[in-house]
Structure 1
Amino acid sequence: MEFACEEDPVIRVEAFTPGKNVSGIGIPWGVQHIRAPEAWSRTTGYRVNVGVIDTGVDFSHPDLKHSVEQGINVLHRTYLPQDDNGHGTHIAGTIAAANSLRGMIGVAPRARIHPVKAFDYDGTAYVSDIILGIDWCVRNRMDVVNMSFGMKQRSRSLLQAVDNAYHAGVLIIASSGNDGLRDDIDYPARYGQTIAVGATNREGKVASFTNRSEHIDIYAPGDKIVSAWLRGRHREMSGTSMATSHVSGAVALLLALKPGLSPHLIKSILKESAVPLKKGKALRTAGELDVMRMLKAAEKMGGR
């Protein structure tokens, strides 16, 4: 019996700018912009499990200590998934930071972050390690998986892992890439079983760096986003990575109110409730994330 071999390509986290350290106080503009605070009287993402396949998380960060679970380090199984890059900590902060006194608050401050370290200190990973991370998320019953990374080439084995997650009821949210392309987005966001995310700026316009095509499902804030960083700090960064983490947090808010929604239904709710984009440079098939409209659309669709 012959087996077809497939190369194991390198995949990169999706940050467009290296970023700069800032003082991160209160509710970042992106969290405000998607109207997450208006939903907190009804839902804070309580006990929704979010797998973050990335560079790990800074376990000692004061904004994250109430939100982070043990997770897994697929590169070194006996070690904690401690972040040695910063990207994963930034993503986790936007999703579920919860430190109103001195730090910042994320979109879903009572969601549970499960860091899955598949990326090295330089922000690169092999597809085989991503697949291990996705499989871990499925086995450990994550509700949502944030994948703020991308690559240009297709991978049959990555598609198979994404498909397995989809059929297991685990929603994968992925970034479109930062090359400013007009008719192309990165994998795995390009797979129909994921939620593909593009980035907007403060004006609600599509960010110049974001890849876009008819494959995009939703846009969210990704320009000059302040979030948690290594050693208890905060950093401003831009990229479709940052947009993706806003959507993961929003879905956590939704699932805390309506557990058990299928990935297909969540995608429909997000697309149905999106705010039309300004100055339609982007294709009109996708709009911008709005948490309150999302929750209203979910109510309208009824039931679980």
Structure 2
Amino acid sequence: MDASDIAEWLRTSSRPAGKRGRRSILRFWDPDDYVRFLNALRTNPSGAESGFPRGVRKLSLIRAISCWAGSRELPPSLAGRAYWEEDCRVRVSALPKGAIVTDKGIPWGVKHIQAPLAWSRTTGYRVKVGVIDTGVDFEHPDLHHSLERGINLLQRMTLPQDDNGHGTHIAGTIAAANELQGMIGVAPRSTIYPIKAFDHNGSAYVSDIILGIEWCVRNQIDVVNMSFGMKTRSKSLLNAVSTAYRAGTLIVASSGNDGRIGDIDYPARYGQTIAVGATNQKNRIASFTNRSGLVDVYAPGDRIVSAWLKGKHREMSGTSMATSHVTGAIALLLAMKPELKPDQIKALIQSSATPLKNGKALRTAGELNVVRLLKAAEQL
């Protein structure tokens, strides 16, 4: 492989022309090829160190780069050594926003999964929870004691401040801790590490997600909430999810809100995640949730009250909201049994779930129940 020729080809082909919305991921099979390529890419034709071309991002977790789409025809020396894949857009998984609310306390979903019954034994203390989302409201009184700095992948030198609201809502359900004036989340003493990969519109590239997963693995995050979905399968994202799983970082993902039966979104569709569908207050599968035999567990996702921007609270629905309940429950579990591996946690989540009333849809999964989950873990 002539790494310098390939690097020069990339410099030429990756220059944005007209449309800036399309990106690609170039992934290498061989680690040595990847290293040689990076070294060549850092060096300009005169032999001096010049850094990466503008718009090129290194995805070390999967031996790849992300760049603006140009020529999709690989040079001959890359045949069989690398492949192109579209760097797709991904969106957060929530239905249109509900109303701002004043009633707070312990939301119905947190009560329904019986989290308060576990707080005398575990509150998620010191469990590291990554939330790859739109950021978080660092000034929110319900989250003030639950947050670490995290990272802003869109503007590296600034805090991952939420400019959408979705990430703050997710973080509140997981770890809010303001009993007197605000709300309580599922695991109020767990620690949220916000990873801002999504912009103010709730949109991100797959490469942003991969960078977020890479950050979580590098910082030894215990469990990662990924309340977003896409219809297209990405080999690069699957590789990142699988690498995290093997490293001991478990990812919880939402099944999607299209009401599809027999199909769910990626990355929840990958076997190395915990795929979550939503239920309503009638203990039934919510009409909006995607469902199939690939869903691992259902959890409250309809009319969920949680934290919002500017210190407020908002009611929202979606499999995003269901996913955050499961992430919080895993934080409770890991505070009590920190030695558990991702495959053990997934099996416990599945086996301890309670049956649901909805008999119309084909399913094998039940609904999350924290008390049953912790009891099952004690029997290991």
TM-score (norm 1): 0.98
CA contact (8 A) 1:220 1:244 kept: yes
Which residue is 1:258 aligned to?
337
Q: From 243, 248, 260, give the equivalent of 1:164.
A: 243
Where does structure 1 differ by over 6 angstroms across 4 or more consecutive aligned residues? none
Which residue is 1:48 aligned to?
127
**Equivalence map 1:236-275=2 (5 Å):** 236-275=315-354
Give the whole-Å Cα distance in 1 for the aligned partners of 2:292 and 2:363. Answer: 10
Q: What displacement does 1:284 show?
A: 3.6
Q: What displacement does 1:281 show?
A: 2.6
Which residue is 2:225 aligned to?
146
Give the whole-Å Cα distance in 2 for the aligned partners of 1:51 and 1:241. Answer: 14
Question: 1:66-110: per-residue Cα shift (whole Å, max 9, x none)?
Answer: 001000001110010000000000000000000001100000000
Of the structure 1 ranges 219-228 and 3-12, higher mean CA displacement relative to structure 2 is found in: 3-12
Which residue is 2:305 aligned to?
226
Q: Secondary structure at the match of 2:145?
A: coil
**Equivalence map 1:201-212=2 (5 Å):** 201-212=280-291
Give the whole-Å Cα distance in 2 for the aligned partners of 1:42 and 1:138. Answer: 28
CA contact (8 A) 1:197 1:243 kept: yes
Which residue is 2:294 aligned to?
215
CA contact (8 A) 1:206 1:281 kept: no
Which residue is 1:94 aligned to?
173
Q: What displacement does 1:276 show?
A: 0.5
Give the whole-Å Cα distance in 2 for the aligned partners of 1:260 and 1:271. Answer: 18
Q: What displacement does 1:219 show?
A: 0.1
**What is the percentage of aligned positions where both structures have the same residue?**
72
Give the whole-Å Cα distance in 1 for the aligned partners of 2:321 and 2:151. Answer: 22
CA contact (8 A) 1:24 1:235 kept: no
Counterpart amino acid of 2:297?
Answer: I
Q: Establish whether residue 286 from structure 1 lines up as the match of residue 365 from structure 2.
A: yes
Q: Secondary structure at the match of 1:6?
A: strand
Of the structure 1 ranges 56-65 and 292-301, higher mean CA displacement relative to structure 2 is found in: 292-301
Q: Secondary structure at the match of 1:178?
A: coil
Q: What displacement does 1:285 show?
A: 1.2
Counterpart amino acid of 1:75?
Answer: L
Which residue is 1:72 aligned to?
151
Gapped regions of structure 2 (runs ≥ 5)? 1-76
Give the whole-Å Cα distance in 2 for the aligned partners of 1:24 and 1:77. Answer: 36
Counterpart amino acid of 1:250?
Answer: A
Give the whole-Å Cα distance in 1 for the aligned partners of 2:361 and 2:341. Answer: 27
Q: Secondary structure at the match of 2:85?
A: coil
Counterpart amino acid of 1:247?
Answer: V
CA contact (8 A) 1:277 1:284 kept: no
Question: Cα RMSD between the aligned structures?
Answer: 0.7
CA contact (8 A) 2:261 2:292 kept: yes
Give the whole-Å Cα distance in 2 for the aligned partners of 1:282 and 1:196. Answer: 16
- Which structure is larger by alpha-carbon Rg, 1 or 2? 2
Q: Establish whether residue 61 from structure 1 lines up as the match of residue 140 from structure 2.
A: yes
Give the whole-Å Cα distance in 1 for the aligned partners of 2:160 and 2:281. Answer: 33
TM-score (norm 2): 0.79
Which residue is 2:24 aligned to?
none
Structure of greater relative contact order (alpha carbons < 8 Å, 6+ residues apart): 1
Question: 1:160-189: per-residue Cα shift (whole Å, max 9, x none)?
Answer: 100000000100000000000001000000
Give the whole-Å Cα distance in 1 for the aligned partners of 2:327 and 2:186. Answer: 9
Size of the aligned set, in residue pairs, is: 301
CA contact (8 A) 2:291 2:363 kept: no
Q: From 75, 87, 90, give the equivalent of 1:11.
A: 90
